[in-house]
Amino acid sequence: MSRQTSRLDSKKVNSELLTLTYGALVTQIIRDFENIDDVNKQLERIGYNMGIRLIEDFLSRTASTRCLDMRETADKIQQAFRMYLNVQPTISNWAASADEFSLIFDTNPLTEFVELPADMSTLRFSGVLCGCIRGALEMVQLEVHCWFAQDQLKGDGTTEIRVKFIRRLEDAIPAGED
């Protein structure tokens, strides 16, 4: 032990591990599917699956209560990004009806070591994030649309995820109960 000059920083290693593992997964999916649209769908689906599990972790760690409006929801999403990916997106561009907003990222940890080749300009590399938001919100009875308005990988200055409220999902009442 004494020979080593510095210990590994576990926080940093873990974040790079996540980034690289995700990159390897995306590479594998691209290898498996020829069509980039299919790759995008897979990534969105994987994100969705992650979101429906992550929300449980989030609720148990933060003791959050149900959101009453989208502004509150936006704050919670921001908090979740801070907790889980250690990035602080800015919330802005509210629609006048307050049902649509943007999350602006200066940096995106998932794309830290990534450059998109020219023939993959339609690949939504971080599509998993959109899926994740959608999956997590669905578990708290919010149906949303989520998409990239800007992406640094495509040459934009920032990465912008747009979230639009669709409707509130009703609790399904088990058969035989009123």
Partner 1 sequence: MIESVFDILHYEVVKYSMGDENSSQQTNNTNLSTLEYIGFSTGYRLTERLTREWPRFRFKDDLETMKFICTDFWTSIYGKQIDNLRTNHKGVYVLQDNAFRFLVNISNNSQYLEEAPKFVAYTCGLVRGSLSNLGINSTVTAEVQNMPSCKFHIQVNSSNA
- Of 74, 85, 103, 142, the one binding partner 1 by CB under 8 A: 85
* Min dist. Cβ of residue 74 to partner 1 (A): 20
What is d(CA 50, CA 147) in angstroms, rounded to the nearest whole number? 17
Structure tokens at 105: 């990222």
* Min dist. Cβ of residue 28 to partner 1 (A): 6
**Closer Cβ to partner 1, 54 or 161, answer by number:** 54
Q: Environment class of residue 27 by beta-carbon count within 10 Å: exposed (0-12), middle (13-18) or buried (19+)?
A: exposed
* Min dist. Cβ of residue 40 to partner 1 (A): 14
Backbone angles phi, psi at 146, to 5 degrees: -145, 125
Structure tokens at 23: 């990159």
30-69 binders of partner 1 (CB under 8 A): 42, 46, 49-50, 53-54, 57, 61
Interaction of residue 7 with partner 1, rule CB under 8 A: yes
Count of CB atoms within 10 A of residue 44's CB? 21
* Min dist. Cβ of residue 84 to partner 1 (A): 5
Residue for token pair 């980034």? 19
Q: Is 66 helix (H, G, I), strand (E, B) or coil?
A: coil
90-92 and 100-105 beta bridge pairing: antiparallel
Interaction of residue 4 with partner 1, rule CB under 8 A: yes
Number of residues that bind partner 1 (CB under 8 A): 37
What is d(CA 48, CA 135) in angstroms, rounded to the nearest whole number? 4
102-161 binders of partner 1 (CB under 8 A): 113
**Closer Cβ to partner 1, 28 or 92, answer by number:** 28
Cβ–Cβ < 8 Å for 76, 91:
no
Q: Which residues, in sequence order, are bridge partners of residue 145? A: 164
- Of 14, 35, 88, 90, the one binding partner 1 by CB under 8 A: 14
Interaction of residue 6 with partner 1, rule CB under 8 A: yes
> Residues interacting with partner 1, by CB under 8 A?
1, 4-11, 13-18, 20-25, 27-29, 42, 46, 49-50, 53-54, 57, 61, 83-86, 113
